[in-house]
Amino acid sequence: MEQLPDELVDRICSFLGKDDLWQTMQVSSRFRRVAMIHFLSYSGISQSNIQAGTVTLSDSFFVILVVARVFPIQKLVCFAEPDIIVDKRRYNALLSILAMVAPIPDIMIHARFDYGFGRTGRYPVQLLAQLPQTVTNTLLIVKGERTYVSRPRSTPPMQWKSLAPPSSSSTTIQRSVLILIFGLFSAILNCGAVLVWIYRVLVGPPWPQEERIAEDMEDVNGFLFWEWIRIQQLPGNLTLVTLPSHRNMLSINNMPDIPDGAYSALLSSLDLGIHLQNLVIEADANLVYTELMALIQRHLYVRLLACGLNSIRPSSFVAAPIPCNSDSTIYALIAPVSYLPHLLPAAPHIQQLSIIALPPVGARSRPDFDITAYHAALDAVAAVCTHTLRLTLVFRHDATGLPWSALSDADADAEARDLPETRLRLDELILYTDDPARFWLDIIHALVRWLGLFPGLRRVTFARGAVETFPFAKCVELRGIRFACGVTGTDDVNFDIWDN
């Protein structure tokens, strides 16, 4: 047998069953190499899968050990078939195998549990605790609106104790005595806690990984595993754990403790597919523009994109905005005024647009409205959106140079000045202020003049508290606007005022 060429051995193996192939693989390393492909084919693993480093399994997880001894596994997919049900036996078998093999760079496990098993936060915690890389790597756990960070450490943090005295003491002296007594007991308890913590650091057992991860995730019971979980190794001793949210939402916030390189690797590795429909970039996230656009291009089902102030690094914007696919499904966009020329090419079919025209945090008491950025944003809207849309404007109520404040009757004539407002097709305009301050009576005239710039505008809505309460008789003087029961109207434009 040892003299037979590999081609003939391969031909013989093609007629053998799974058990016979397993016995053949025990003969020698040569026979193992030739017979392994035929053996793995019974588990649905082909030669191309092995060359690509991808293994897909729903049972017989010992195959992972067989493949890992010969070929490095780059990606492991478990329970991908939609019609299977995973019981506790197979779940425990998978955990045992993953604990024995070398770290796999990419692991995806689908949720195919029977009713009552695996639908709690303990499932991902137990899984992560079994993986070898969680012992030395920092975990970045992304779950919808929250991102958790779990760093490897051998002891739990200190838990300081504080005993509060009862508040029913009758006199000041009695209360002072109780505060002294309870403070003394608290000091004794904390001294004992310090001694226990020092003992655990020096000679005590290491902190179990499952307890450490559960502590860092704060609310394990709310950490439900309902669709799939993906574990990816990133550069810099980081492990990214992704779970889709049932709200199909992803919120990205600022993580100052994570270096820029690791943050970039996190963004480039996120792939939620259809489970990312609402993307929120929190204020001060300080993302790189090209990395954000690459994330949007990978997710074709995003419907809402919301960016807070300072959510994108201004120095990262490029001269030519990056467009997305023509079949983009982004229908709602919320962004600061200076971001719109760079983000609108990613949303050619937008229907709802919110422009945040607020000054930076900590600006002086009466900042200047950035009319240049405002006009550039409206020019970008007019260039991209040839259809009607709903526009919301959020501004600082006491800013100087608001679009309507310096608008004269001559400027309001569309033929006198080519203002960007005249090129927009709005179905509704909503006006927000950053606080309960209101449109006072002395600027309503200028505001109505400015609204006349928008061709075809049918509805204007003032947000809650945005309009001063003034007499009905004065309302009639303002170009026939009639206010009754919080709703007013003219022959051309409907004015809605939310309950003030």
Determine the Cα–Cα distance for residues 164 and 290; give it in Å rounded to an integer. 53
In 280-357, which residue ranges form alpha helices assigned H by DSSP? 289-298, 340-343
Torsion of CA 325, 331, 335, 340, to 10 degrees: 50
CB-CB contact of 77 with 56 (8 Å): yes
| DSSP-derived 3-state class of residue 355 | strand
- Amino acid code (one letter) for 425: R
Residue-level pLDDT at 434: 67
Residue-level pLDDT at 313: 92
Residue-level pLDDT at 35: 82
Host H or E run for residue 233: strand 228-234
Structure-token pair, residue 469: 């309460």
Residue pLDDT, tens place only, 292-315: 999 998 998 999 999 998 999 999
Determine the Cα–Cα distance for residues 408 and 385; give it in Å rounded to an integer. 27
* pLDDT beyond 70 at 338: yes
> What are the domain boundaries of the chain?
156-203, 248-497
* pLDDT beyond 80 at 109: yes
Residue-level pLDDT at 351: 92
Residue-level pLDDT at 207: 84
Determine the Cα–Cα distance for residues 149 and 240; give it in Å rounded to an integer. 10
CB-CB contact of 433 with 467 (8 Å): no
Residue pLDDT, tens place only, 133-157: 888 888 998 888 888 888 888 888 8
Residue-level pLDDT at 409: 63
Neighbour tally for 483: CB within 10 Å = 19
Residue-level pLDDT at 330: 92
Residue-level pLDDT at 4: 74
Kindly state the average pLDDT of the residues 49-76: 85
Residue pLDDT, tens place only, 452-482: 788 888 788 876 655 555 444 445 444 444 3
Distance of CA 243 to the CA centre of its chain: 11
Structure-token pair, residue 244: 């889709």
Mean pLDDT score of the chain: 79
Residue-level pLDDT at 269: 92
Residue-level pLDDT at 467: 54
Residue pLDDT, tens place only, 178-212: 778 878 888 888 888 888 888 877 887 888 888 88
DSSP summary character for residue 159: -
Least confident of 2-6, 10-14, 378-382, 479-483: 479-483
Strands 146-150 and 228-234, bridge-based pairing = unpaired
Percentage of residues in the chain having pLDDT higher than 90: 17
Least confident of 39-43, 239-243, 313-317: 39-43
Residue pLDDT, tens place only, 349-407: 899 999 988 776 555 556 677 888 888 999 999 888 888 899 998 887 666 777 877 66
Residue-level pLDDT at 453: 83
Neighbour tally for 158: CB within 10 Å = 11
Residue pLDDT, tens place only, 151-174: 888 888 877 777 776 666 567 777
pTM of the model: 0.80
> With bands split at pLDDT 50, 70 and 90, how would you rate the model's confidence at 487?
very low
Residue-level pLDDT at 472: 46
> With bands split at pLDDT 50, 70 and 90, how would you rate the model's confidence at 490?
very low
Residue-level pLDDT at 116: 54
Residue-level pLDDT at 410: 61
Structure-token pair, residue 83: 């019609």
Residue-level pLDDT at 306: 95
The residue among 349, 444, 461 whose CA lies nearest residue 394 is 461
In DSSP notation, 93-130 reads: HHHHHHHHSPPPSEEEEE--BPTTSS-STHHHHHHHHH
* pLDDT beyond 70 at 437: no
DSSP summary character for residue 152: -
Pick the CATH number of 248-497 from 3.30.2010, 3.30.70, 3.80.10, 1.10.443: 3.80.10
